Amino acid sequence: MANKSQQHPTLTGAEILWAALAGEGTTTVFGYPGGAILPIYDALRKFPTIHHILVRHEQGAAHMADGYARASGAVGVCMATSGPGATNLVTGLATAMLDSIPIVAITGQVSSKVLGSDAFQEVDITGITLPITKHNFLVTRAEDIAPTVRLAFQIARSGRPGPVLVDITKDAQQGTATFSFEAAKPHPYRPHPMLRAESSSIREAIELIQQAKKPIILAGHGIVESGAEKEVIAFAEAQQIPIASTLLGLGAVPAAHPLQLGMMGMHGESWVNNAIQQADLLLAFGMRFDDRVTGNLASYAPNAKKIHIEIDPSEINKNVRADVALIGDLKEVLQLLLPLLPKNSDTSWLKEINASKGTAAVRDIINLPDNGHLYAAHVIHDIWREAQAAGRLENTIIVTDVGQHQMWEAQYFKHEAPRSLVTSGGLGTMGFALPAAIGAKVACPEKDVWVIAGDGGFQMTASELSTIVQENLAINIAVINNGFLGMVRQWQETFYEKNYSASPILSPDFVMLAAAHGIAGANVGKRADVIPTVTKARTSGKCFLINFQVEKEDGVYPMIAPGAALHEMVRRPQHDPLLETAEDE
């Protein structure tokens, strides 16, 4: 609706919404219509540049917008009607909030004349989502729609990104106003008064880095959000500082990079966690010292000074006390630091860490001979091997659900590119994978998108299979089926004396479920069948579901018990009874 003439058109609020979305670069909206948002859906046909994807449940819409944003870096947009439509978005908004993902959610609302009267399908969604959005708005006038939507986009993507909800009353959608995209431009982003790296702090940081003998970079999600991948690698290489990644930081530094140690934390590699405990300097790059990363705070990296580079000042000293805090955009701060540091070529610390790997890799499950049993780790590692052999690794996005398979994915799929792993880290939302993969595939149609989900989480949002078919999306789905809510079962095994309370789960025949949707599928129970079936799925050009029937009572190792110190790892038992019986057969 770009109108270059001096006269600005008079449009309805609904039309203004679409024009503003289009102006912000939105090409896809994930949504579900309903009474209070019908004027907006009525105007949709006038905006052919925007493709609307009908979801099967509004939670799916939010996760799709989330997956879209994670895969592309652009703002994802989802839409729902008032009342139950809006409340169904809540889990998706919270997921995006905890992982700092930029999405804009549009909800319809009852007419402003009846606001607060418990009208049909009325719910106070701005009140409900207040703590799980970066910001939210209630719009009651057509003329406020364009400035609010533009401001919502700005808030969603600036600073530490996050979800923004815009609730628009039905009378605002039906009212009219003159529309000018340019005039609706928000003011420059409110500068954060605390948002700058102090020159004295920079000096202190340089001093600490130069003194350090055993420094480690903790590579977080902020690297990807800031687009600072190159700077981080340049910094690490110039200083020969090894890198440990958080779950959401995987891919920011390629797994194959010699300085990349692997994932830290509860299910991180033993040598990574041990190295953090021995380090004398931690450089936290865009990460927030989550409890899954630190273990017991009192014993966390006891000998290390901490330099925290972070865009959100409220994260400083929240969990771990920073000796030096550099507040700001990671890329800018690193660009400031890089030229001020003389190069370091001492590789002894890296060699020490590499030597400490010892037998850990040998004991690794992927090195077990094929004994007829299928382990989830095998499946995930083989998906990686298949993609690598086909030269598709850089063009593969893995979208995981939450649980054991998520941790195995993080351990056994080696991510070489940023945004190649889409996973719910902070909130740990089961049911995330399938809808988020739809968003990722829509954002990156040229890439191979794999859903890796457990039998539990997959059933939470399996209704979105219909969405995949309706949109004709070639998404590959790997259901890691062990008949249990696996992570719950593992905790019950470890901490609750194997009292498997409510963790065994009955599932439908997933291949037949896929078939009912017109989706091809296959059952795999043997290791030898994994790679051929994965290739078949990847090259089918259509959605394909593989049900991997894996070992029922396998565990994720190493593991740090909640509240234990980072070096107190529980290792895969040398004589895992499960593995022994496997070898006997």
Partner 1 sequence: MLHTFVALVEDKPGVLTRVASLFRRLSINIVSLTVGESERPDTSRMTIVCEAPENAAHRIRASLYKLETTVHVDEVNRAQAVVRELCLIKVAAGPDSPHGQNSRSQVFELAQVFRARVVDLAPESIMLEMTGSASKIEGLLQVLRESGYEVLEVSRTGRMAMRRGHHTSRVLKALGTKTASADNIDILDPDALPEDEVLPTEFGEHEA
Nearer to partner 1, 201 or 226 (CB): 201
Q: Is residue 29 classed as helix, strand or coil in its secondary structure? A: strand
Report how far residue 36's alpha carbon sits from residue 114's, in angstroms, rounded to the nearest whole number. Answer: 12
Nearer to partner 1, 156 or 437 (CB): 156
Check: CB of residue 382 under 8 Å from CB of residue 359: no
What's the closest the beta carbon of residue 243 comes to partner 1, in angstroms?
25
Indicate the burial class of 214 (C-beta count within 10 angstroms; 0-12, 13-18, 19 or more).
buried
Q: How far apart are the first and last CA of the chain?
A: 69
Give helix then strand counts, H and E, for the chain: 24, 22
Nearer to partner 1, 109 or 423 (CB): 109
What's the closest the beta carbon of residue 332 comes to partner 1, in angstroms?
17
Q: Which positions are annotated as active-site residues?
A: 58, 120-121, 170, 487
Number of other residues whose CB lies within 10 A of the CB of residue 392:
13
Percent of residues in the chain assigned helix, strand, coil, to nearest 5: 40, 20, 40
Q: Give the residues lining the site for partner 1 (CB under 8 A).
A: 126-127, 130-131, 134-135, 138, 155, 190, 192-194, 198-201, 204, 312-314, 316-318, 321-323, 325
Report how far residue 134's alpha carbon sits from residue 165's, in angstroms, rounded to the nearest whole number. Answer: 9
Helix 330-337 / helix 199-211 crossing angle, nearest 10 deg: 70
What's the closest the beta carbon of residue 246 comes to partner 1, in angstroms?
21
Number of other residues whose CB lies within 10 A of the CB of residue 422:
28
Residue in this structure with the two tokens 């079936």, named with its chain if needed: 533
What's the closest the beta carbon of residue 302 comes to partner 1, in angstroms?
17
Nearer to partner 1, 190 or 392 (CB): 190
What's the closest the beta carbon of residue 493 comes to partner 1, in angstroms?
34
What's the closest the beta carbon of residue 322 comes to partner 1, in angstroms?
7
Nearer to partner 1, 55 or 325 (CB): 325
Report how far residue 536's alpha carbon sits from residue 518's, in angstroms, rounded to the nearest whole number. Answer: 17
Number of other residues whose CB lies within 10 A of the CB of residue 512:
11
**Omega before 558 within 30 of 0, i.e. cis:** yes
What's the closest the beta carbon of residue 130 comes to partner 1, in angstroms?
6
**Backbone torsions φ then ψ of 468, nearest 5 degrees:** -60, -45
Check: CB of residue 185 under 8 Å from CB of residue 219: no
Nearer to partner 1, 221 or 373 (CB): 221
Nearer to partner 1, 315 or 464 (CB): 315
